[in-house]
Structure 1
């Protein structure tokens, strides 16, 4: 064999190479047996040294002619146990038919390769690859021998089985992972669809790929109305330039934070949104889509805008009232470390002059005794109510300030300072003092006027009675001496005196509301009303009045005056009854939060709304004395009685539709009797009976 033959052999499969070597050897052995003994020995050595099994088979009988050691080891048999037997004798039952078919072809085909399972001596299976080659004579092409290389596939089969197991495990894991991914995707989609915050996804061109329900609710559109449309179509006018700037930066940088956009919903309303987003990429690195969460901050922006307006308003307010207020803060030791510039207008000190202990400015008065207690409470962290102090002005005058203070704490909660605002109330206090003096003077004047009215009305009774009596005597005893004109004049005198007597009596009753008032005590209104109806029984019967009364409560009041109140209201209803319908008077009481509300309603002639306030004025009449006699004091007296009890009275009425007088009487009336200069109750004049 030369070098070219060896190179050619190396390029062939091992089985073909070995078979070829054996064929060459046999041919040369036959032709040159003596010369090639050494070559045959070398080939046998090569076969014996290979790790694969080598089997020499008779191509006709199919019996084993020779085997190498490797095959004996594979099968577990000795050489003598294999020789003379066909390979079929070592096939397992499951493969016997196939092996018989394949070995039957040995000698008829040049080369066959197939997998087969043989049975070892110990009964175990030996999976192997059977590579059979037939050797032929060069001249006759007659099969002279057959060779088979047997490759042990046990490890390969084990590896294949392991790989199959691994593959099955991987397939199972992939299926499980896919199922989890599908489930996760489903959960994510549900979360995404039901997320409370609006979500939108855009492609690289800025067109909408997907939005969730919250986005649709924010913008007022249906899903089909928005998918595929440019996001710019949903921006408020003027926002396109902002989008053209931010979208390329977003796509380049990969994320976006706190980007504010104004979007316009379907109804045309503008919504301000803050955008947070990231880019989703393809495996190639190209942009797949954006993922953006939108937060509607319209209310927040409007609140901030309103806060700025409020702050500006507050700033202007502070600037406008700086002549009356100044801000300050002092340490826990009481030393001022800040004061606003307006302190100069109020106290005359420049800011730097005021930076001392607050005690330097306090006057020596009882009002300032509380200052230290308030300051110590503020240093303990207690919020203090406003209190007043007296401060010395730089010019030596005294100023009264109302201060409100709050503690200032650090992160640990420790009080480190006290902040406050001071209001110059000097002029207010002086005005209050003047007002109190005026009230005292007016109170004294009212006392004197009421006393005068009481005395005057009492003293006028006597001359009026005299005028009336003598007028009547003159008419009776000297009627024959008087002509008709004189008699008419006497009637005018008597009528005028009688009417004046009524006015004086009314004025006397009006003044007695305070001058002869009784202390408040328990009053059963129902019993008072019974007494009033007895007093008015004749008028009630003559007028055919129907009285309707609910259960009336017990109150704390002046019983005599409550009787006068109801008597005047019922008399008023009888006087102004409607001529075309029977008079019905209904009295009711309703318990309110702090008072009893009484009502006296009738179906009489009523009162036009323009007169509702005027009917309670003293001596105010809406009708002539000839049509409705009276003094015009009754309702004024009712108003005075109600007000003396701390209540109020009013009327609801329309002309020709009846009237309803309502009044409130507090559960606990605060009696404020008129007083003389000493503050005691005004005593009745001893000269007045």
Structure 2
């Protein structure tokens, strides 16, 4: 064909403006002819064959050749699929009629064979067209284009030939019955073909540039004509009717449009083949449309560095379009510093590989930090210009939602874990880590087998094989229950819900599992099963247990207590043979029990006042009830016990059970202990008084000794040699240390003897007083003292201040080369306050934890750290006087923390009664 012979006005603006008109006209004509039900057939198979060859086969073969050339240059797999569709379309017109003529006997045309072959090939052509456009959007390329081209076109010829073979040998179902129309199978095949051609036309036209390229416009119109023509053929009932010929005319006209599309494309590209270029640009536009709306787009010419941004890209950055030049370097200035190096590396990798897919943060022009997602691909134009096109869009809300989801996972009371295809753990939430007893570092990367899943469970089931089966049979193991293993080796039961994730090729990526601990449920199930198995023996076991109990157990079998029975111990204690009725509520029973009477607080109880009768009558439980049994021998035994009502399912009282123990001997021992305790209290007071008097009175002669030593040094100092002077110094230091020890002993004794009233006290006031007393030593050591917000407690304010002073003084005193840092913390407990005094000093070895609280016990020499070894003893004495506890936690060389508790303001500790 002479391309110059085609006038530009014909192919250009004038004719193309009205090229769509035949489509609705032909569609209307088809609908009108279908409504008229014309039953005249115009059977001219040879003419039909000739027209098909001219308008369909030859044009299609020419287009197939051009597409082959384009594929060898561009290697686009989608373009090749379109070529296969065009080839099969051309063959369908030829073999549909030709094969039917060959099969016809005595030159009688075989209508069903012609229609079956044609319709089947048309369906294959529509499928190839639609697949080709979709693959073009994904820019799939191949590495051996000549081989792939030959294989694809050969396969197209073979499948067409195979269709002809099946039809001519009678292996295909009936497609058309003359006078009745198409069968169901034919209507499905042809209807789906109409839909595929129409959808291909829409994708090709609506996702292309505006204005449309000549190829996109004319070829999409050709596809619409094919769809209209096939629709006319589909609804005909008489083959070769006027309706059928109208449909065939639409298909032949589509061949003309295809030819115009190719010629127009060749003219526009100056002789080069731009057929693949048009589909590729459509794919680019469709990809951007399908990703999202309101996206920032960028396009970079990799050869020149020229970059184009749309307005949305500037809006994402929070700047005006004229504020900065549009290039990667300008964009990088807005990237968050923590993400900049990573993004730059990803950009360089994208330029190399052709794919860009990442998420990063930016700092907008107004200072707001936002999350963006970037996606892009490498493209090559028809002139081999390398371009990189992509989009950026805001994902801040999604990131915030992910963060909330992450928080939900971390705070969930279920085990949430992920593992890769090899069952190596890649994630576990905080609850799961605590449940299994691992830290993140200990667990992540380890295989679940032998870590959280034992190789076999207690029933010898192969759990390792089960774990692998979850990946290979995910439908079977969507949920499963099995034993798991904690770090300490303990087996627990967990109910799991599993979700296996795959990549695009259906290869396993990872497994997500959510588990709930059902150990207690399993225990309950086991207990229920056990109770069912032991139901027959329960009564006998209960009676044996009651008889073996060392306590007296009486059971009232009715609300009126007319019948009371007991266990063996109760009968032995009551001195009544089994199984006599032990109720005193009946006269005949009371006569048998006349050998003992019951007393409460010295008053004899009548039958209705007895505890088991009272509980059965009122339904109120009695606890810690004491009762005296007086036998006619004069022996008195004291009992202590609890009595509870027996209720039916409706909550009505049906009897009572009383359990008592003989506490006669215990009462005697308690009285003896009480007397001993009183004697001990008096002894302690005497000892404290003695310590006070001793320490006070001993200081008087000690002062005299100190004075005489001083006089001796003054009067005879110049007559003594160095050794003598040393003796005097040693004696003086010994007196001073003795005086210090006596002072400490006096102070220690005064904690109880001269303690103040314990009343509501602001801890902060006591703390400030201690800091004021230690001001000089704190400044000398340059120590930093901090504290939490301190509460009000019930305490002796002076002793509380002394407690803080001693602990802070030790923290400052026992320091290393670091600047001392001391922090006083507090935390509310159920009925008390827990205080802590934490320092960064030299620390205490664990073996010395108890020793440091003993009076005059020291763990350092006087040369290392001077002192008397009584400060912490005083602290413990003060805390114990206030009804609290004190202890220490430390690590040698890493600081020390002293803990002590004090009663809360609204609590009264019973231990204060002794003071």
* TM-score in terms of structure 1 length: 0.50
Deviation at 1:637, TM superposition (A): 0.7
Is residue 2:680 matched to residue 1:442? yes
Q: How does 1:37-48 map to 2 (within 5 A)?
A: none
User: What's the CA shift string for 1:13-41, capped at 9, x where partnerless?
Assistant: xxxxxxxxxxxxxxxxxxxxxxxxxxxxx
Q: Distance in 2 between matches of 1:315 and 1:598?
A: 53
Alignment match of 2:878 (pick from 635, 641, 651):
641
Is residue 2:629 matched to residue 1:391? yes
Q: How does 1:402-421 map to 2 (within 5 A)?
A: 402-407=640-645, 417-421=655-659
Q: Distance in 2 between matches of 1:469 and 1:316?
A: 83
Partner of 1:341: 568
Is residue 2:618 matched to residue 1:380? yes
Q: How many residues align?
A: 387
User: What's the CA shift string for 1:497-556, capped at 9, x where partnerless?
Assistant: 211111111111111111101111222222222222221111111111122233322222
Alignment match of 1:304 (pick from 526, 532, 538):
532
Q: Distance in 2 between matches of 1:655 and 1:575?
A: 15
| Structure showing the higher strand proportion among its residues | 1
Partner of 1:162: none
> Any idea what SS the aligned residue of 1:652 has?
strand
Alignment match of 2:828 (pick from 584, 591, 616):
591
Q: Distance in 2 between matches of 1:311 and 1:495?
A: 81
- What is the root-mean-square deviation in Å for CA atoms of aligned residues? 3.7
Is residue 2:552 matched to residue 1:325? yes
Alignment match of 1:366 (pick from 583, 601, 611):
601
On the 8 A contact 1:348/1:394 being kept in 2, the answer is no
Is residue 2:724 matched to residue 1:486? yes
Deviation at 1:330, TM superposition (A): 7.3
User: What's the CA shift string for 1:201-246, capped at 9, x where partnerless?
Assistant: xxxxxxxxxxxxxxxxxxxxxxxxxxxxxxxxxxx99xxxxxxxxx
User: What's the CA shift string for 1:572-610, capped at 9, x where partnerless?
Assistant: 1122111x2111111222223322222111111000122
Deviation at 1:569, TM superposition (A): 0.6
Partner of 2:846: 609
Partner of 2:739: 501
On the 8 A contact 1:341/1:350 being kept in 2, the answer is no
Q: Distance in 2 between matches of 1:317 and 1:647?
A: 42
Partner of 1:431: 669
Partner of 1:26: none
Q: Distance in 2 between matches of 1:469 and 1:654?
A: 45
Q: Distance in 2 between matches of 1:310 and 1:449?
A: 60
Q: How does 1:137-536 map to 2 (within 5 A)?
A: 300-305=528-533, 318-322=546-550, 324-329=551-556, 337-351=564-578, 355=582, 357=584, 360=594, 361-363=596-598, 366=601, 368=603, 372=609, 374=611, 375-393=613-631, 395-407=633-645, 417-536=655-774
Q: Distance in 2 between matches of 1:479 and 1:297?
A: 93
On the 8 A contact 2:807/2:872 being kept in 1, the answer is yes
Q: Distance in 1 between matches of 2:675 and 2:700?
A: 39
Q: Distance in 1 between matches of 2:645 and 2:724?
A: 91
> Any idea what SS the aligned residue of 1:342 has?
helix
User: What's the CA shift string for 1:461-490, capped at 9, x where partnerless?
Assistant: 212222222211211122134333332222
Q: Distance in 2 between matches of 1:508 and 1:313?
A: 65
Q: Distance in 2 between matches of 1:355 and 1:400?
A: 18
| Structure showing the higher helix proportion among its residues | 2
On the 8 A contact 1:338/1:355 being kept in 2, the answer is yes
Q: Distance in 2 between matches of 1:462 and 1:585?
A: 39
Between structure 1 and structure 2, the one with the greater Rg is 1
Partner of 2:807: 569
Is residue 2:798 matched to residue 1:560? yes
Query: Residues 671 and 451 of structure 1: is their aligned pair in 2 closer, same or farther, counting only changes over 3 Å?
Result: farther
User: What's the CA shift string for 1:430-466, capped at 9, x where partnerless?
Assistant: 2222222222221121111111112211112212222
On the 8 A contact 1:614/1:620 being kept in 2, the answer is yes
On the 8 A contact 2:770/2:805 being kept in 1, the answer is yes
Deviation at 1:307, TM superposition (A): 7.5
Q: Distance in 2 between matches of 1:310 and 1:459?
A: 75
> Any idea what SS the aligned residue of 1:450 has?
helix
> Any idea what SS the aligned residue of 1:403 has?
strand
User: What's the CA shift string for 1:390-446, capped at 9, x where partnerless?
Assistant: 002464211111233344578998766544222222222222222222222211211
User: What's the CA shift string for 1:260-301, capped at 9, x where partnerless?
Assistant: xxxxx9999xxxxxxxxxxxxxxxxxxxxxxxxxxx987632
Query: Residues 353 and 438 of structure 1: is their aligned pair in 2 closer, same or farther, counting only changes over 3 Å?
Result: farther
Q: Distance in 1 between matches of 2:830 and 2:747?
A: 32
On the 8 A contact 2:552/2:566 being kept in 1, the answer is no
Structure 2 alignment gaps of length 5 or more = 1-458, 461-479, 484-523
On the 8 A contact 2:599/2:627 being kept in 1, the answer is no
